[in-house]
Structure 1
Amino acid sequence: MNQIVSTHSLSKRYGNVFSVKEINLSVCEGDIYGFLGPNGAGKTTTLKMLLGLVRPTDGKVNIFGKELGANRRHILQNIGSLIESPSNYEHLTGLENMRVVQRLRGVPDKNVTEALRMVRLEKQKDKKVAQYSLGMKQRLGIAMAMLSFPKLLILDEPTNGLDPAGIGEMRELIKSLPQRYGMTILLSSHLLSEIEQMATSVGIIHGGTMLFQGSMEKLQARSRPSIRIKVQDHAMARELLASWGFFAKVQEDSLVLENITDSRVAQVNRDLVAANIDVLRIEEQTRNLESIFLDLTGGGNSL
């Protein structure tokens, strides 16, 4: 697939401290790329370098197959972005704010109408932004970013300020953009569960260094499923399992077996029942993105 964004050894140093160190970012056409990391990991600095808002100390940025430095104006015409908090004129209405961006972008009226509809602000468009809630301001910022229906949409914490229902709606909107409008999405977030539900590719950054980059399937493959068995007599069942060559961990009210095939699970079940131990429940446990993330980062920082 075509690479929409690629960086080579992209670094930003403030004094002797690296905010971002030798990042090789790769975002392909049609991706929803989730950029994950704790606060202060370097996510926003990286996104700002992609937009020319921060000058890299070292490294290169290529977008749409062209180097950013020499082609900045052309490249930025095809990018929409929302970095950190939305920028708007609070004394103007939502619609008037959209008109300002419309004139800058040179897009038709239908784009304004469609973008406001997509973020559910069409009924509040004539209200002054000063009267908007934080969530409404966030939705307006996303509408302004999408106004030209760009090839690349860069969003920094797009669900910030939204309530649970709004987060769900934003998730579904973002998931629809590549297919409906041909957009490629690069978004940063600290909401691991949301990234897990909508991203096709993931980059995990920690301390300014990329720890993982690849498809969501590749990341989830790092999760080693385990089998959780609930029985009436845990102590006896654990002894029997050990005598059969299975080491079971005790976890809450169950025994946990790792790296075991389906056929072996069936055999364990038969053997426990034959030994007059009632098996109450058998279930597979898979680790979620949060536990994989904590493993990669050493669990030292929360998001």
Structure 2
Amino acid sequence: MSQIIKTNSLSKRYGSVYRVKAVNLDVQEGDIYGFLGPNGAGKSTTLKMILGLAKPTEGQVSVFGKEFEQNRGFILSQTGSLIEAPSYYGHLTGLENLRVVQKLREVPDKNVKEVLSIVRLINQKDKKVSQYSLGMKQRLGIAMALLSFPKLLILDEPTNGLDPSGIGEIRELIKSLPSRYGMTVLISSHLLSEIEQIATTLGIINDGTLGFQGSLKKLQEMGSSEFTIKTRDNQSALALLKYHGFLADLQGEELIIGRNLREEQVVQANRLLVSEEIGVYRIEEHKKNLESIFLDMTGKEQTL
């Protein structure tokens, strides 16, 4: 596999405020790279710099192994994108809008028919886009990005305005692109629940800084786990465990005996309780789910 996108200390500053600071993205060929973060975290600004729509204050962008500034024409000819909101001519039909892009991209008629089918706009292709719903406009934007079946597809919040059925269809479409068309996909979202169903690699950005980059499994491994015990006499159990060095605490009807304990430590705690004839009803391990880990990384006060 080859590296499709690489950024080196990519930064964007407005005045004295950094919207993106020293971001090092690594997107490999065939990846579905989920770029996650709360609204305003710097996702769109980063994608704009990768596409040359915004000039970095500092840092470099490399796409297909080539520096962007010296190879802008080649890189953009191999890239499709939808950033923030679709661009279209409202007085033209969906088909006419695609014809405009077709001429610019110099692609055959069969591509137009195929993307209309992919995004379910065949029956609305002759309708003026000004009369489209928000979801239909979003699907048209995705069709435009797909029209040349590029090697790299960059989608910024592509499910905005779509109903649950439409979200599911776009999700399945994106999952099929690497194997079906050989595309690499970089997709941004503030919805972890959507990204975790399709992404092979994740990048999490908050306040302009990349806090995590790697696989879902790697992210899950970052989450702490805790063990809880329910006994016949929690007060006595609490005193005993504390005496033997456990960081135990009583919450409701259960004891929390520590985070990220080894299995042997859990066995030791159980043995201590049994040896003192304190009946143990149950022992449970609770691991943080991905959403909890994401909230910890991006700030629980933020709205997702």
For 1:295, give the aligned amino acid.
D
Q: Name the structure 2 match of 1:288.
A: 289
- Describe the shift of the 1:295–1:123 C-alpha distance in structure 2 as closer, same or farther (beyond 3 A): same
For 2:16, give the aligned amino acid.
N
Bigger mean CA deviation after superposition, 93-102 or 63-72: 93-102
Query: How far has the Cα of 1:284 moved from its partner?
Result: 3.9
For 1:94, give the aligned amino acid.
G
Bigger mean CA deviation after superposition, 147-156 or 120-129: 120-129
Other structure's SS at 1:217 match: helix
- Describe the shift of the 1:198–1:267 C-alpha distance in structure 2 as closer, same or farther (beyond 3 A): farther
Other structure's SS at 1:155 match: strand
CA distance in 1 between counterparts of 2:10 and 2:118 reads 34
Gaps of at least 5 residues in structure 2 are none
Contact 1:5/1:26 (<8 A) preserved:
yes
CA distance in 2 between counterparts of 1:223 and 1:104 reads 47
CA distance in 2 between counterparts of 1:266 and 1:165 reads 48
Query: How far has the Cα of 1:264 moved from its partner?
Result: 5.8
Contact 1:27/1:33 (<8 A) preserved:
yes
CA distance in 2 between counterparts of 1:36 and 1:46 reads 12
Contact 2:10/2:21 (<8 A) preserved:
yes
Contact 1:36/1:43 (<8 A) preserved:
yes
- Describe the shift of the 1:20–1:278 C-alpha distance in structure 2 as closer, same or farther (beyond 3 A): closer
Query: How far has the Cα of 1:9 moved from its partner?
Result: 1.6
Q: What is the 5 A alignment of 1:81-160?
A: 81-160=81-160
Bigger mean CA deviation after superposition, 255-264 or 208-217: 255-264
Q: Name the structure 2 match of 1:21.
A: 21
Query: How far has the Cα of 1:182 moved from its partner?
Result: 1.1
Q: Name the structure 1 match of 2:6.
A: 6
Other structure's SS at 1:162 match: coil
Other structure's SS at 2:69 match: coil
For 2:281, give the aligned amino acid.
V
* Equivalent in 266, 278, 281 of residue 279 of structure 1: 281
- Describe the shift of the 1:263–1:16 C-alpha distance in structure 2 as closer, same or farther (beyond 3 A): closer
For 1:288, give the aligned amino acid.
N
CA distance in 2 between counterparts of 1:170 and 1:260 reads 41
Compute the RMSD of aligned alpha carbons.
2.6
Q: Name the structure 2 match of 1:226.
A: 226
CA distance in 2 between counterparts of 1:178 and 1:263 reads 44
Bigger mean CA deviation after superposition, 88-97 or 60-69: 88-97
CA distance in 2 between counterparts of 1:264 and 1:32 reads 39
CA distance in 2 between counterparts of 1:93 and 1:253 reads 64
Query: How far has the Cα of 1:298 moved from its partner?
Result: 4.5
Other structure's SS at 2:197 match: helix
Bigger mean CA deviation after superposition, 88-97 or 283-292: 283-292
Query: How far has the Cα of 1:169 moved from its partner?
Result: 2.3
Q: Name the structure 2 match of 1:192.
A: 192
Other structure's SS at 1:123 match: helix
CA distance in 2 between counterparts of 1:166 and 1:32 reads 19
Query: How far has the Cα of 1:299 moved from its partner?
Result: 3.5
CA distance in 1 between counterparts of 2:230 and 2:129 reads 55
Alignment size in residue pairs:
302
Contact 1:272/1:279 (<8 A) preserved:
no
- Normalising by structure 2, we get a TM-score of 0.87
Query: How far has the Cα of 1:58 moved from its partner?
Result: 1.8
Contact 1:237/1:272 (<8 A) preserved:
yes
- Normalising by structure 1, we get a TM-score of 0.87
- Describe the shift of the 1:21–1:245 C-alpha distance in structure 2 as closer, same or farther (beyond 3 A): closer
Query: How far has the Cα of 1:237 moved from its partner?
Result: 5.5
Contact 2:237/2:278 (<8 A) preserved:
no
CA distance in 2 between counterparts of 1:15 and 1:268 reads 56
Q: Name the structure 1 match of 2:165.
A: 165
- Describe the shift of the 1:172–1:262 C-alpha distance in structure 2 as closer, same or farther (beyond 3 A): farther
Contact 2:38/2:298 (<8 A) preserved:
no
For 1:65, give the aligned amino acid.
G
Of all paired residues, the percent bearing the same amino acid is: 65
Please state if 1:302 is matched with 2:289.
no
Query: How far has the Cα of 1:247 moved from its partner?
Result: 4.1
